[in-house]
Structures are given as structure tokens and as C-alpha cells.
Chain A
Amino acid sequence: MPDPSDRDLALRARRGDAEAFGELVRRYQTSVFNVCYRLLGERREAEDVAQEAFIRAYERLDTFDADLPFGPWMRRVAANLCLNWMERARSAPVSVPLDDERDPEEVGEGNPVSAREHAEHAEAVRAALLSLPPRYRTVIELRHFHEMSYDQIAAALRIPLSDVKSYLFRARKLLAEELKRYG
């Protein structure tokens, strides 16, 4: 018997089937976790917020159009939750992930030197992303990792189109400067 489609699972979940929603969580937890990890920069926090994002999504399933793919909608819910999370914690300084928090998969296998370089580079990109103000970080996330258009970003964040353009432009400028500093 073939695996149920995302659409079937979402419709069953909408009727209150928690197990069906659990299957959707298993399918999308990695991509949703990565949204949170890129935006928040700390693994445990990213896991907690990703979990909360799934619970929020379950509560809002009636707003999900089951004829559209579940993944992008779910990642958008997570990105919005992260933005709220970051803005609530704005007064707290953003901490760059420590070495012992680094993901072993990012270090990779094969040539240890190139693997280390690769991991360090990924770490530098993450740190540069985390140096951005929350809204800049979020538009970068939605444009580069969700491949959303300017209009879609404006609708998702409920901000004017002109803000999307200026946030993206400034965020990329800051990112380029940060990455230059990391060499």
C-alpha cells in the first residue's frame, strides 16, 4: 500500500487525527528545523521552536489550502514563529553557536582538511546570518531558502513591498561585509 500523500495526511489531521499529523512532522521536521536553526542559530532552541511551529501549524490547519504543497506552508509558519521569537528576545544578545554545538554532519567525512574547511565556512555563513537584525534575517531566509518572490514575502510578513526590497538589499550588503571579515 503506498504511503498516504501529504494532502491526505493534512486532511486527516484537520479532522483531529494526531497520528496523521505526526507523520507530517516526521516528513518535514528536518526542513523546518533548518529554518529555525538558520534563524536562531542554536540547536536546542531551534528544535524547541520547530516543535512549537508544528503545534501552531496544527492549530491553523483550517487556513491551509490542502491543494497546495504542505512543506512551503509549514516552513512559512516556522519562519514567522522564529521572527516573533527573535523580536521578543531582541534585547538579549545573539550568540554565535559554540564549537561543541557544531553539527557532526556539517564536518562531513572524507578528506579531514577539506571537511574541516567546509564546516568552518558553513559556520561563518551561519554566524554572518545571525549578525543580521531579525527582519533582515527573515527576508533572507524567505528569499534564498524558500525561494519566495518579493510579493509573497511581503504577504507572509505583512510588510510593504518597498520594505522587502530595502531589507533584502541592506541584508545582503551586511552579509557580504560580515563574510569578508571572516575571510
Chain B
Amino acid sequence: MMHLDEVTLNEYLDSALAPEQRSAVESHLVQCPDCTTRLNGLRALFAELETLPETAPRRDLSPAVITALRRRLPESLVAAPALRAVFAAQALIALVLLGLALPTIMRATQWAVVTQLAGQTVADIAGAFTGVTSELQALQISLQHFMAASLEFVRQPPLPSLPMLNVGLCLAAVSLLWLVGNGLLLRRQPSSPARSRS
């Protein structure tokens, strides 16, 4: 007769066998005293572990845990509901200001790009006409005058005005600083390996 292996006996006692395997093991145990003895030995070990008594710690752990948690200043700040509301309001205001400043910054960026492109175009066109015959030189000069005039117009756009641009940039910078500052202040602290004893 084939005996049950140790792994199967362990899985049987751990209720880890599928129903049909379990039935097969039970059928075998009924007719095999050797396997039943081994199973009972394993059961006795389980019982020994279960009888191990629980014991109380000699000190209350809660004061030391609470002290360790409170020592984490940023998380304590987050814990105060009033301060949480202040931080949330600050973040909201910063986001609104950033939103207000954004169109001004985008327009300024756009104008800078247009100016740069226009300058490159003038240089390219002038270069292309350099080797042309004398009949075309007059036309080239006229064209250069025209492009220079156009460039002058582009370089002095009606919008945005300098003070407006400065205000926009200041708003954006302050909002970003505000958000980053609060983010740094409220970030989670890495766990400390140091343990405190009460």
C-alpha cells in the first residue's frame, strides 16, 4: 500500500486540499494505521503550538508610540483641522493666481518666438538676394527696407506692455513658490529607525 507523504498530511491538516483530494486522503487514513499515527503526531504538534500562552508586555506601548508620532511636526500640523483648511485655501489661491498669470506669460512667450522667427526670415531673404544681378539690387534694397520696417513693427508690439508682463511674471513666481513651499512643508517624513522607550 502506498503511504501518504508528509506534504499531503500537512496540507490535509491545513485544509489546503481540494475536496476530491481530501476525500481520497480520508479513505486512505481509514485503512492505514501508519499514516494515521503520523497524522496524529502532526496534530499533537499543532496542539502544542496552540497551547502556547499569550503574555502581556511589561509596559504600555501607547505613550511612546504617541510621543514618536507627535514628534513628526509636519504630520502634526496636517492633523490640526484649522491648519489643514488654511493650507487648502493657500493652495487654491495660488492656483487661481497662477491661472490668471498664465495668459500673460503665454502671450509674452508667443511674441518672443514671432520676433525671433521674423529676424531669421529677414536674414535668409537678404542672403538669397546677395548674388543677384545689379538690376535686382534696387529691388533688394527696397525689400530690405520693407522687411526692416515690418520687423520694427513686430519688435514693438502693442501688447503686452512691460508693467503688465512684470505683474504676470511676479504672480506666477509667487504662486509657484507658494505651492512648492507648502508641498515641502507638508511632505511625508521618511520613517525613523530610532525607537523611543517610555
* Chain A residues packing against B (C-beta within 8 Å): 15-19, 21-23, 25-26, 29-31, 33-34, 37-38, 43, 46-48, 50-52, 54-56, 58-59, 103, 105-106, 121-122, 125-126, 140, 143-145, 149-150, 165-166, 168-169, 172-173, 175-176, 179
Give every chain A residue within 8 A of B45 (Cβ-Cβ).
172, 175-176, 179
Counting from the closest, the 9 A-B pairs by CB-CB distance are A16-B79, A25-B62, A33-B57, A18-B69, A22-B66, A103-B55, A22-B62, A144-B49, A29-B61
Contact B16 A51 (CB under 8 A): no
- Secondary structure dominating the interface of B: helix
A-contact 0/1 string along B37-56, CB 8 Å cutoff: 00001100110111111111
On chain B, the number of residues with a Cβ less than 8 Å from chain A's Cβ atoms is 42
- Specify which of B10, B49, B76 is in contact with A125 (CB 8 Å cutoff): B49
Q: Give the dominant DSSP class at A's interface.
A: helix
A143 touches B14 (CB 8 A): yes
The contact string, 1 if C-beta is below 8 Å from chain A, for chain B 60-101, is: 111111101110000110111000000000000000000000
Smallest beta-carbon distance B193→chain A, Å:
8
Whose C-beta in chain B lies nearest to the C-beta of A170? B6
Give B residues with C-beta under 8 Å from A.
6-7, 10-11, 14, 16, 41-42, 45-46, 48-66, 68-70, 75-76, 78-80, 188, 191, 195-197
> Given A16-B76, A19-B66, A21-B66, do A29 and B46 touch, yes or no (CB 8 Å)?
no
Cross-chain contact A29 with B62 (CB below 8 angstroms) = yes
| Cβ–Cβ contact A26 & B46, under 8 A | no
Contact A150–B62 (Cβ < 8 Å): no
A-B contact count (CB 8 A): 121
Partner of A59 from the list B6, B51, B62, B191 (CB cut-off 8 Å) is B191
B49 lies within 8 A of A37 (CB): no
8 A/B residue pairs, CB under 8 Å, sorted by A = A16-B75, A16-B76, A18-B79, A30-B57, A33-B57, A37-B55, A125-B51, A176-B42
The residues of B that contact A52 with a CB separation of less than 8 Å are 195
